[in-house]
Structure 1
Amino acid sequence: MVYATWWTHKNNEKVLIAWMLVTAGLFLYFMANFLYFLLRDYLGLISLPSLVDTLYIVAYPLLMLGILALMEKPYRLKLKSFLDAIVVSVSVMFIIWFPLIWPVIEPSQPDTTSMIFSISYLFLDLLLLLVTQVVLFSKKKKISIIPLFLVSLGIFSQVVGDMVFAYQVVVSNLFYLWLANTFYTLTIIFIALGVLSYINNVDIDIKNKLSFYSVLSPYNDWISYLPLVLVLFTYSLLIITTPDTALIWGVGIIVVLVILRQVIFLNDLKRAQITLKKNKEVISERKKQLDFITSNMLDIISESDVNGVLKYVSPSTQQLLGYSPQELVGHSLYELIHPDDREKVRQIIEKSSNVTEDLRVESRLKTAEGKYIWIETTGKPVVDEKGFRGFIYSGRDITEQKKSAEYIKKSLEEKEALLREIHHRVNNNLQVISSLLSLQSDNVRDPRDHELFVESQNRVRTMAMIHEKLYQSDKFNSINFSDYLKTLINRLIYDYSQELGHIDLELDIENVDLNIETSVPCGLIINELVSNSLKHAFPHGRNGKIIVKFHKIKDKYVLMVGDNGIGPLEKSVLESSKKLGFNLVKSLIKQLDASLEILESEGTLYRITFAELTYQKRF
């Protein structure tokens, strides 16, 4: 107890005073016991009243005050349970005391004072037990119920031990002495267990344990009849014994307690009936409201068991599917699902039930008219202490959404086909223009004029290749620019191959997509610069190298085009503003909002930096 008080000082200050009072009371009680055995067994001094009696009488109030201090405001009792416990405790004491112990003790008392002291300790024990039960059955306590319950058992053992010890004093017998010591030992054990359970914060929901017992044994609720049985047995003492005033008063008090208990019980029963009636009215009103909501809602709410058999279907199924709830309950939900969707739905439900996760599935359900409508169903698995026991579903008609989605899909497919056809026709038209320029160039005799026709033909073909890539691609607003560049450069080298020596390609092109707004001007720039290198950088069949690099750096693109040719000659020719090619490059760079740098290198190297153009709405 001293350790418990110290522990309370460190961890639970609000019950420190209570534990100090209890510890002080137990200390005085221990000292009284020690002095009693010292005076009686070693010194042979027995007097009434004595110092021992004083210590005992002081100890009991301290214990009671300490236990009462464990109650918490507001002070409210569970009266019915409290009265049951009092009736049981007092009845057991009377059954043991009056027929067994009191007939032996009463003749042995020399005077009234001796008799009062003989029964005063029993009275104080009963009063202490009463106080403990007051705290035990209070609605708010500062500590858990287990320590109080164990202390109550300890005090009960103390009362029984005192009665047996009083009997043993008159009828000296080792068995009764051993029995009294056994009950005293149980008192110490129960109180020690109560202290340990308090320190270790042990708490058990006794109410749930009793509920579990009543579920297991619904026909063995004999405990509720125990107070009545004990009262009847106590009342029979008036018949089987010679009643004295104490017994008559005791039985009268017990009868009054039982009557009070029944009054409280009837009052509680009346209040429970009133509450039950109100609850039934609330439930009925809510049921009507729920029926009204589920009858007029657009969704279907249903519940199925583990086998997919419907246990509940909301009334809204009448207006959605044409079935009444009674027609569907007891039938498998798979009976309504379109044959082509059943296996898919079954697999999704099995997977969800195995991992107890929510599901979402779209399927066709059969209406009462034999038609099928699309329903989007969400399901939540129901799991209790016994495991998985079914699903709760919410279904919504999505037939119109499905039709709209199908229409949009068909419309997109038509537009994709139209765009593909447009790019294809643009490519064909540009190829026709390129062919016309090629045919016309065959009739031109002047080499300079023939070169102009070839350059125009390459420019048209450069744009045609973009549209060719577009209608071959799954995307209609961008192309794979790296693939386009490789095709374009190889085609240019092939066109000029008759006039060139051996030309190597140094290509370092990142795999990126560019939209058509950026691809066309960028392709034309590369066409002009590569064509210019092929025409001017390698005179007289000189061998050389064409350099093309293309990379994305953050949100910018860097294009480098050059050669290892003669360099200055090429630069002097290109920088002439009278050249259409260079003017076209300057115009395209302006269109791209790009920057152009001519870098010093072995030949000539251009670096163009730009960002991808955004689509500008035409209307």
Structure 2
Amino acid sequence: MKEENRTFKKNLLKKNQNSKLFKRISILSIIFLISYITIGLLLSNQPYFCTIFVYTMIAILYFMVTFSLFLATRHVKKYGQRTQLAWGLLTFSVLLSTVASVMWAIIIIYFNLNPATSVADLFYLLFFPVFLLGIFVFPSTRKNNHQRYKAYFDIGMVLFSAFLVIYTFFISPAAEFYQGDLLKLIFSLAYVVAGLLLLWALLDLIFNRIKTNMQTPFIILVLGIFILTITSTLYAYQLITGTYVPGGAGDVGWLVGYTILGLAGAAQFTNFNINRNRHITRFLSWHYSYHWTPYLALAGIFISYSLLIWAVNTSNPNLLFLEAGSGVLIFMVITRQIVSIRENRDLYHQAQKEIKTRRKVEESLQKSESLYRTIFENTGTATLIIDKKNRLCLTNSEFERITGYSQEEVSEKTWQDLVSKESQKIIEELHKDMNRDYDHTPRTVEIKFIDKEGIIKDGFLIFTLIPGTEDFLASLLDITQRKKDHELVKKSLKEKEVLLKEIHHRVKNNLMIISSLLNLQSHYIDDKEHLEIFRESQSRANSMALIHERLYKSSDLKSIDFGDYIQNLAREIFHSYSTTDSEINLIVDVEEVMLDIDNAIPLGLILNELLTNSMKYAFPQGESGEIKVKFSKKDKTYTLIVEDNGVGFPPRFDYKNTDSLGLQLINNLTAQISGELELDTTNGTCFKIEFLESGFHD
């Protein structure tokens, strides 16, 4: 939540900074235009300096507009390559105008010639098709085929109406004014066509291109194109009539139009948005629903027919041409109406399909509601819906059974009325956690609820948020009897645990008594062979007693730390058989591994036999040496290694078939734990036993 607030504040700060930057650019643009007009008027009595100032200012302005559009081109990379290409083409078109303005300045200042109809004008004229291409490259708004065709006809009608006006007042007079200056005529007509191209760009932008994520730049572009269209038309008229003066008042329109194009680029790279009032909002609403755009075509038709009426009343020589043009407009209107009729027919069929679909959906909803109510009533648990005000707005029959409250009785109650105070705190904390991080909050909790009779019961509550709402769906299980049964089971397990510990303790004591009896009996035996048998039996009893001692002291009563057991057993056997003259070194390398009783007792006896054999036979007559004991676990395999560097076994000794009781025990006990026994007599004696965990034997 804190991170989201920090991000929101950061974005708001950046938005405010961008808004201030755009406003500063707008103010500087206005100051620039005012300065241009003011200083131009002040220098009007000094034509040479006025010309230098005017075209220097024009070149600077066009360069700044180019730079603004270039920044917009870089900024819109996130909107896709097509949008970036469109802004790039707009930038290139203004760059052509910048080059043209520099050439104009050179022609006027250095050659003292009128730049109109010069090579510089070619660069100005290139601005118009490149700019139109940039407008066309912008991604269009989504329309169906009928809407697209109607938009084409609307644009066509407006353009054709404009062409009739331009022909009547520009092309026809140009033919009359033609006095053999073909180049002037070509450039005049070229600017007339350029005006139509700008009008086309303006209409296409309005009809097809304005999108939500670039509303402000496009609205500013529309204004700039509108001004440039008017200025281009006036410039064409001045060329035709021979009234154009370079650097005159007519050039202000160019400056204003290009300045507004630069502001459109600034609005794009600063992410500036207009604070839309209700009029702009209504305009955009009409635009997206295509309610007002056909009126542009209607206005064009109205102007065309007004022009026809004027031509009839004034006996204008273009009357026949205007009559033919009106016929074309009538054809376009009829064709557009046919498209509208087809669209209405398709809309009617679509509406019929939607009505059928809606009926099916309603039937499906009724079935779903019936299914939902059946499931809600027969979940086997008390189910309830809690609204955002914590009221129980819906419960099922199972809820009434375990609480005693009917739906009517709980309709005005909140969940706080039905749970203990301790449970209220638990649920409130859980509710806060869910508001902070719903996905990682537990959905289950144990509570104590109060039934209609005031009896406090144990319950298990499961709840989830109903998608698309602020209500919760909860399931309540009455676990009162289960809790009681659980306590009885825990008590019984505790008793059995105590009993099992007592058994292990008594077994250990009995084994120690046997060991003590064997020890006492050994004092009355003079035969060394018989005495050794008693000592071995005593050692075996001690090894088993040590395991039972570890078991009743362990936490789970089933397994012991066998590494610790090995260290204790090895130490006892070592001290039992070592003498003061003995130079035997005992090395124990064991891991902390838990081993269950089924494997611990056989393995303890095996270890006892192996260590006893090494102590007794590996180092005769007080020889020095070392005995190593290793115990480890890898994956599910245990490994016990007992080795010494003593005299070893006789050659060709078969340890699997021997009369030795100790080795017989080792072989039998290894088989008991499903292990594998290996003997290596390369350097003394090395016994290696590997076995799997209980339950993993093949």
Normalising to structure 2: TM-score of the pair?
A: 0.53
Partner of 2:677: 594
Of 459, 469, 481, which aligns to 1:373? 459
Q: 1:581 aligns with which of 662, 668, 671?
A: 662
Residue 691 of structure 2 aligns to a residue in which SS?
Answer: coil
1:512 Cα deviation from its structure 2 partner: 2.6
Distance in 2 separating the partners of 1:576 and 1:123: 115
Residue-by-residue CA offset, 1:56-88 (whole Å, 9 max, x unaligned): 9x9999789968976999994646994998699
What are the residue-to-residue correspondences of 1:285-324 with 2, within 5 Å?
285=363, 287-297=365-375, 298=379, 309-310=389-390, 317-319=395-397, 321-322=399-400
Q: Are residues 1:459 and 2:537 paired?
A: no
Residue equivalent to 1:521: 602
1:129 is aligned to: 199
Which residue identity does 1:452 align to in structure 2? I
Match of 1:385 in 2: none
CA distance in 2, matches of 1:218, 1:446: 122
CA distance in 2, matches of 1:185, 1:448: 125
1:473 aligns with 2:534: no
Q: Report deviation, 1:557.
A: 2.1
Change (3 A) 1:274 1:527: same
1:129 counterpart letter in structure 2:
L
User: Which digits, 9 at most, give the CA deviation of each residue in 1:536-581, with x for residues without a partner?
Assistant: 78999x79887442232744524235598x9999xx9x99965533
Residue segments in structure 2 that go unaligned for 5+ positions in a row: 1-65, 75-80, 179-184, 314-321
Q: Which residue of 2 aligns with 1:551?
A: 631
Q: Pick closer, same or farther for the CA change 1:156–1:408 going to 2, 3 Å.
A: farther
Instruction: Call closer, same or farther: CA 1:125–1:352 in 2, change over 3 Å.
Output: same
Looking at structure 2, the residues matched to 311 and 81 of structure 1 have their Cα atoms a distance apart, in angstroms, of: 55
Q: 2:694 aligns with which of 609, 615, 619?
A: 615
The structure showing larger relative contact order (alpha-carbon pairs under 8 Å, at least 6 residues apart) is 2
Aligned to 1:244: 310
**1:19-67 Cα distance to aligned partner (Å, 9 max, x none):** 89x98xx99xx89x99xx99xxx999x9xxx999xx99x9999789968
CA deviation profile, 1:220-259 (whole Å, cap 9, x unmatched):
7377598899999999999x999735899999989x989x
Q: What's the offset of the Cα at 1:459?
A: 1.4
Q: Is the 8 A contact 1:481 1:512 kept in 2?
A: yes
**1:394/1:530 Cα in 2 relative to 1: closer, same or farther (>3 Å)?**
same
Q: Deviations over 1:440-478 (max 9, x none)?
A: 556666565454334323212322221222232124443
Partner residue of 2:436?
A: 354
Aligned: 1:159 with 2:229: yes
1:66–1:482 distance in 2 versus 1, CA, 3 Å:
closer
2: CA distance, partners of 1:246 / 1:381: 70
Residue 354 of structure 1: CA displacement? 3.5
Query: CA shift at 1:482, angstroms?
Result: 2.4
Q: Is the 8 A contact 1:466 1:484 kept in 2?
A: yes
1:288-328, Cα deviation, whole Å (9 max, x unpaired): 355334434449999989xx644897x6x424534889987
Deviation, structure 1 residue 595: 1.5
Mapped to 1, the partners of 2:197 and 2:548 lie a distance apart of 104
Go from structure 1 to structure 2 and tell me whether the alpha carbon gap of 1:237 and 1:453 turns closer, same or farther (over 3 Å shift). closer
Letter in 2 for 1:183: G
Given the superposition, is the C-alpha separation of residues 164 and 494 from structure 1 closer, same or farther in structure 2, using an over 3 Å criterion? closer
Alignment partner, residue 316 of structure 2:
none
Whether 1:183 aligns to 2:262 is no
C-alpha distance in 2, partners of 1:617/1:177? 101
Mapped partners of 1:325, 1:278: distance in 2: 37
Assess if the C-alpha contact under 8 Å between 2:458 and 2:483 holds in 1. Answer: no
List runs of 5+ in structure 1 lacking aligned partners: 383-388
Query: Structure 2 CA distance, aligned partners of 1:63 and 1:616?
Result: 81
CA contact 1:501–1:543 (8 Å) conserved in 2: no
CA 1:434–1:553: 2 relative to 1, 3 Å: closer
Deviation per CA, 1:102-151, whole angstroms, max 9, x where unpaired? xxx89x9799889x99999779845762475247634899xx99998777
Distance in 2, matches of 1:329 and 1:175, equals 85
Structure 1 residues 332, 83: CA separation in 2 closer, same or farther (over 3 Å shift)? farther
Any conservation in 1 of the 2:444–2:462 contact (CA below 8 Å)?
yes
- Residues 59, 472 of structure 1: CA spacing in aligned structure 2 closer, same or farther, 3 A cutoff? closer
CA distance, structure 1, for counterparts of residue 238 and residue 340 of structure 2: 41
Whole-angstrom distance in 1 between the partners of 2:234 and 2:690 = 104
User: Mapping of 1:176-575 within 5 angstroms?
Assistant: 178=249, 180-188=250-258, 213=276, 217=278, 221=282, 224=286, 244-245=310-311, 267=344, 281=359, 284-285=362-363, 287-297=365-375, 298=379, 309-310=389-390, 317-319=395-397, 321-322=399-400, 339-355=421-437, 357-364=439-446, 366=449, 371-378=457-464, 406=486, 410=490, 420=501, 422-435=503-516, 437-438=518-519, 448-492=529-573, 500-501=579-580, 506-510=586-590, 511-532=592-613, 547-552=627-632, 554=634, 555=637, 557-560=639-642, 562=644
Alpha carbon RMSD of aligned pairs, Å?
7.2
Note closer, same or farther for the CA distance 1:487–1:60 as it changes in structure 2 (3 Å cut). Answer: closer
1:300 and 1:139 mapped to 2: Cα distance?
A: 57
Aligned to 1:386: none
3-state DSSP of counterpart to 1:360: coil
Q: CA deviation at 1:516?
A: 3.1
Q: Given that residues 87 and 257 in structure 1 are in contact (C-alpha distance below 8 angstroms), is that contact kept between their aligned partners in structure 2?
A: no
Residues 586 and 128 of structure 1, relative CA distance in 2, 3 Å threshold: closer
